[in-house]
Chains A and B, each alone.
Chain A
């Protein structure tokens, strides 16, 4: 008999190691101000990674979220500036853009049976192009003050952007674990054909997951714009990759059928710790990429050791 360790073991190990190391080396990591900055920086990835966990649970992938965040960010800023909309209307407009992009992804995948990587790769290109066309390649600033203060204010000592991120993670976690939708979604990821043949609403579930992901990309866009005080057409670039890293690091297998939102949340934390840790060492962000790669390998390796899984040599 051996103890079954949870799927989050690998990522929990990374978070603990990174945190212990940094807390010993730098006082900031022991102070609430430093932790608040860390969480704030990780917020948009948290939002995107929450939805990405559900997508990966279905055995799919969505590489378009960074671009969808980009086009939503530009649409948001354009509505606020050129169109002169009020903040609430513009927020709704931004979310609608993300939702629509996600809906198109969902339709292409569920209705027209395109492989997720193909459909979302097309959206990856198209949405980024949309961001450039809409903005004319220019960044947009002069955004309303309440929006900017959202980017840096805090409630109960926790920065505003962290709240929607936490909410997205909790909602996705509950959806996955506590609802029929979540069970269908995991069943679909486990065995698509069986799921379909047993009369489950495979298409509707898939379409919903990608639509939700688009919506969450727009939420991330709002955070990005608020924190940057500008919308740039490049907003969100590579965030899909960072989010996928968080999900995989968290112990959700890319093959689908299994997922852990708790793991994803820890993955996001690990990425935040590593990013801020590298900066605390006074190094440029290129080092962050290297460290993230190593952390991903470490956590996945621990996971393989835990589950006793070995890849069969060809």
Chain B
């Protein structure tokens, strides 16, 4: 068959499909409210736990709740997903941005298109998002981790701060809180530069090992993102430094359980990501119904929430080897 005929045949076939597809437009079924969560990256356990909360809320509220995430923690990919959600006219989008600034234009674009945008887990404070839901205060949790670690190491020595993505707003606030907390201890020095492992388990491990090889006198790790504490725990276990190096952080109990039990990790400050996401879905749904979050309200199964300046906070917990078995995520 001659070439131009081939081109024509293929083009015609694809064209026919497009036309057919477009004509098949069945009448839109009854509109079901749709809230779409856009997390930082797909496949993290933390993300899977958040998703559980989203699914529970969907079931209880009888609405469609989607839980989307790019295959890499890249803000560009999140923007692509949000662009699609705008085109699909989702009722609300809830984002945990990989980059607090780069996400701003697309958030504002969504708001202008009538899609209500919220943030949870990590904020984009300079955008037009309606409110941000977080567990405890992002800075305060950093302060708490710093104080717990400082006590653990007797208030002196070299400490390495570990975080995920450099531009992730929540992580930077945790780090800020840690700096604030450690500032009260003049005998603690912070190792520079801080470790940024991009929420990658493997990188988190190898960067922790590298830090310990470069600075054998590190006595503590303060971990701001969820893969770090177990990864650092594994690193010090492998290097035989359990007890000599203390680790505090923000991580999932299930991923950290063995290190908490062996003493490689001393403790975690955190919240239940499933409850956080569950509450967020409910709060967003309420907002779409015209109800704002209420400062000081007691929410069933969550505790007392606070709401101020567009930030909703739900309470967090401290987890050590004594109570780790009570948590199933």
Contact = CB atoms under 8 A, between A and B. Distances in A.
B102 A23 contact: no
B196 A31 contact: no
Contacts of B62: none
Contact of B43 (A16, A279, A282, A284): A284
Contact of A37 (B7, B43, B84, B165): B84
B165 to A, nearest CB: 8
A289 B17 CA distance: 24
A138 B99 CA distance: 12
Contacts of A27: 25, 28
A196 B88 CA distance: 54
B188 interface: no
B64 A229 contact: no
B87 A237 contact: no
Contact of B72 (A20, A137, A237): A237
Contacts of A138: 166, 196
A4 B64 CA distance: 47
A168 interface: no
B76 A6 contact: no
A228 B79 contact: yes
A195 interface: no
Contact residue range for chain B? 35 or more
Given A229-B79, A286-B43, A34 B84 contact: yes
A268 interface: no
Nearest to A278: B68
Contacts of B6: 6-8, 262
Contacts of A38: 84
Contact of A279 (B68, B89, B198): B68
A76 interface: no
Interface in A149-193: 152, 177
A106 to B, nearest CB: 29
Contacts of B76: 224, 227-230, 232, 235
A137 B196 contact: yes
A15 B14 contact: yes
A123 to B, nearest CB: 21
What 3 A-B pairs come out closest when comparing CB atoms?
A: A228-B76, A23-B21, A282-B66
Interface of B: 1, 3, 6-7, 9-10, 13-14, 16-18, 20-22, 24-26, 28, 36, 39, 42-43, 47, 64-72, 74-77, 79-81, 83-84, 86-89, 99, 101-102, 105-106, 109, 165-167, 196, 198
